[in-house]
Amino acid sequence: MGNTIFAERIQALRAAMAAHNLDACVVLSSDPHLSEYLPDHWQARSWISGFEGSAGTLLVTATFAGLWTDSRYWEQADHDLRGSGIQTIRAGAEGVLGITEWLAHELPKGSRIAVHGQTISVQTHRNWKLALDAAGVQLVCNMDLPGEIWNGRPALPNAAVYEHKAPFACRTRAENLAAVRAAMAAHHADWHFISTLDDIAWLLNLRGNDVSYNPVFLAHALIGADTVRLFVAPGKISTELAAELGRDGIQVQPYEAVGEALACLPAGQALLVDPARTTVGVIDAAAFVDKVEGLNPSQLLKSRKNEAEINHVRRAMEQDGAALCEFFAWFEQAQGQERITEITIDEKITQARARRENFVTPSFSTIAAFNANGAMPHYHATQESHAVIEGNGLLLIDSGGQYLGGTTDITRVVPVGEPSRAQKHDYTVVLKGHMALAQAVFPRGIPGPMLDPIARLPIWQAGAEFGHGTGHGVGYFLNVHEGPQAISYRTPFNAHMGMEPGMITSNEPGLYRPGKWGIRIENLVVNIPADTTEFGEFLKFETITLCPIDTRCVLLELLTNEERNWLDGYHRQVRERLLPLVQGTAKEWLLERTQAVGTL
C-alpha cells in the first residue's frame, strides 16, 4: 500500500475535525483496556498513519501532522511515515517538546482538541487537562473521530474464553478473589473495577485469544463484597463455563452493559479504581460513587509468583531452551547451504517451539535482525522488507513463547561468518552488564529502577548507552510485559515498584550503533531470598532462562575471573538441564556451545 493512502486518511481526519469545530485530534496507541497489543478494531493510529510500531501518538492539526515515538522506533517511523505527510517527532530527544507541551505552546487559546475518552487513562487525562487548561486549550473526550472515517473497521474479536486449569493454575479463583477483597477492605472500598485484561485473566483463572501473543480476552470486571460481574461479549463463554463461574459468585453479563452497571452503583459507596489502568471514557459512567484511587491489587498479587508457579516456569524454560537448541543447531548447519532470511528465522524458531510440551503461541512477534537492522530495538522484518543472512556480522534474535506453565522471553546474538573486533567488543561490554545485574544482591523492596545502573555501568564506561529499559516484569502464561516492577532509570519511581520475592523480570542490557549493528543479551530472572541480617532482608536473582550465550562473540581478555566463573556456571546449568531433552545435532550443538571458557 502506497503511503499516499495515509495522506488521504489524514485529510479525511481533518475534514471530520472541521465538521466538529475541532482544532486538533490526538490518536493514541490504546484501547478501553489500555493494552500494549491491540485488537485490529483499536489499531486506529496504525490505520491512519501507517506506522506499525507498538508505541506512538499521532497528532493532527489543520496544518501539521506528527507522530511522537521514543528512540526504539525512530528509524522505523522514518521509514513507515515516508510520503504520508506525517513527521517523526523524536520523543525524549534534547529540545523536543512533549505532545502536551507542543499543544499548549503551538495552539491559540480557545482551541479544542479531541482524544477518544475510551483510549486515555484517568491519570493521563488528568495530567493533560491540567497542562492544557493552563494554556486555555480544551480537551474533548466524548467522540471517536478515527471511527467516523474508518470504513470497514474490523469488528471486535470473538474468540472463545477458556479456563486455565490445574496443575498449571496454582491458585484458585476463590483464593485470588479473597486476596483482592482484602485489599479492597484496606482501601475501605465497597467495589473494585478492573479493565486491564491480564488482571482479569489472572483473577478468574481464565484465558483467551483476543489479543495477539497475550492469552487474554476483552472484558471488564466489577467486584463487590460477595459478587463479581464479568462483562464479556455474548457467546465467548460457554454455558458450562458460565455455570462453573457462577458457583464462585461470578455473573457473566454483556460487554456493552458495563456503563449501565457503573452508573447504577449506589450513591455514597466507594469504588476502587486504578487511575493508570482505567480509561476516563469508561469510568466516567460511575458518576454517583466515591472513587478511591490505588493500584489494582491484582497487579502486585500476580507479579509475585508462588513456588508452584515458579517451578512450572522452570519446566517451561527447559522446554523453551530445548526448542532453541534445535533451532540454533539447524541454523548453524544451514548457513551456506540454503537461503536464510530474517523471515526464515521467525518461521523456524516458532516451529521448534511448537514441537515442545504445553506450547500455546509465541509471546510476541519474533525480532530477527541482521547487522544494521539489529540497531533498531523493535525492528520487525516483513515480506516487503527483510535481510538475507549472509556475509559477516551479527544476528540478533529476540523471541519468546507462551506455555501453559509460563511465559518466556529471550534475546541472543550469534555470529554470522566472522564478526569484527568492534562488534565483539560491543558484545562483550553488553555481556559484562548482563552478568553484573545477574549477580546483584539487593534489599527487599528496593525500587527496580535503582538497580538499572548496575547493568549500565560497563556500557557507560565504554562511552555508550541504550534507549530502552533493562528489565520488565513478565507474566505467568500471561502478558510478556507486566508490572508493577521495572528496571529502568527513566521510569518514574512510585511506591509499588519495590522488588519482592517471586517477581520475574527480564535482564536485557543492549548497545546499538545505527546503520551498523545492535546487541542485546536477555534472560529472565526471578527474585529469590539471598540473606537476612540485622540490616534487613536481601534478595538476589536466579537466572531461569536456559540457552547458551555465544562465546564466539566474546573478547575473553576483557572478562574478569569472576565473570568467567559466572559464565561457566551458567553454561553448566544449561547443559545439565537441557541434555535430557535434546538429541542428535541439537545435543551436539548444546555440548559445543556450553564449553567452559576457564579462568585467566
Residues 66 and 190 in one domain: no
The radius of gyration of the chain from alpha carbons, rounded to an integer in Å, stands at 25
Residues 268 and 141 in one domain: no
Residues 334 and 360 in one domain: yes
> Phi-psi category of 235—alpha, beta or left, where left has phi over 0 and alpha has psi -120 to 50?
left
Residues 63 and 166 in one domain: no
43 by DSSP, 3-state: which? coil
Is residue 146 reached through a cis peptide bond, with omega within 30 degrees of 0 on the bond before it?
A: no
Indicate the residue among 301, 318, 353 that finishes a domain.
Answer: 301
Cα distance between residue 33 and residue 296, in whole Å: 13
Among all chains, which residue has been given the C-alpha cell 480509561? 279
Residue 122 lies in a domain: yes
Residue 335 lies in a domain: yes
Indicate the residue among 149, 177, 200 that finishes a domain.
Answer: 149
Provide the pLDDT for residue 1.
46
Residues 112 and 173 in one domain: no
| Sequence letter at residue 383 | Q
> Which helix (H) or strand (E) covers residue 125, if one does?
helix 122-134
Provide the pLDDT for residue 149.
96
According to the 3-state scheme, what is the secondary structure of 440-506?
A: CEEECCCEHHHHHHHHHHHHHHCCCCCCCCCEEECCCCCCCCEEEEEECCCCCCCCCCECCCCCEEE
Residue 237 lies in a domain: yes
Residues 385 and 417 in one domain: yes
Is residue 484 reached through a cis peptide bond, with omega within 30 degrees of 0 on the bond before it?
A: yes
Residues 241, 246, 250: CA angle, nearest 5 degrees: 105
Question: What end-to-end distance do the CA atoms of the chain give, in Å?
Answer: 57
Among all chains, which residue has been given the C-alpha cell 523480570? 505
Residue 328 lies in a domain: yes
Cα distance between residue 71 and residue 549, in whole Å: 26
Domain that includes residue 248, residue range = 162-301
Residue 537 lies in a domain: yes
Indicate the residue among 261, 280, 301 that finishes a domain.
Answer: 301
27 and 117 Cβ atoms separated by less than 8 Å: no
Provide the pLDDT for residue 82.
85
Query: Which of 9, 84, 5 has the alpha carbon at shortest distance from 48?
Result: 9
Residues 278 and 317 in one domain: no
Query: Which of 110, 97, 117, 112 has the alpha carbon at shortest distance from 62?
Result: 112
| Cell of residue 212, nine digits | 495477539
Cα distance between residue 499 and residue 446, in whole Å: 6
Cα distance between residue 389 and residue 510, in whole Å: 21
32 by DSSP, 3-state: which? coil
Cα distance between residue 26 and residue 253, in whole Å: 32
Residue 502 lies in a domain: yes
Going across the sheet that includes 536-543, the strands are 441-443, 536-543, 523-533, 504-507, 471-473, 482-487
Residue 552 lies in a domain: yes
Q: What is the CATH number of the domain that holds 227?
A: 3.40.350.10
Provide the pLDDT for residue 380.
83
Residues 264 and 330 in one domain: no
The number of CA neighbours under 13 Å toward the Cβ of 497 is 15
Q: What are the backbone angles phi and psi of residue 572, rounded to the nearest 5°?
A: -65, -45
Please list the ranges in the chain whose pLDDT falls under 50.
Answer: 1
Residues 294 and 310 in one domain: no
Residue 251 lies in a domain: yes
Query: Which of 76, 55, 36 has the alpha carbon at shortest distance from 369?
Result: 76
Provide the pLDDT for residue 2.
54
Separation in Å, CA 380 to CA 45, 54, 341, 383, 406: 18, 11, 12, 10, 24
Q: What is the CATH number of the domain that holds 343?
A: 3.90.230.10
Provide the pLDDT for residue 291.
95
Residues 495 and 562 in one domain: yes
Provide the pLDDT for residue 325.
98
Residues 310 and 293 in one domain: no
Q: Which residues contact 8 (CB under 8 A, 6 or more apart)?
A: none
Q: Is 105 exposed, middle or buried (0-12, 13-18, 19+ CB in 10 A)?
A: exposed
Separation in Å, CA 232 to CA 217, 253, 259, 297, 522: 8, 6, 13, 21, 36
- Could you say which DSSP state residue 392 is in? S
Provide the pLDDT for residue 108.
94
Separation in Å, CA 470 to CA 70, 185, 339, 424, 437: 15, 35, 34, 20, 9
378 and 54 Cβ atoms separated by less than 8 Å: yes
Residues 137 and 173 in one domain: no
The count of structural domains within the chain is: 3
| Cell of residue 164, nine digits | 486455565
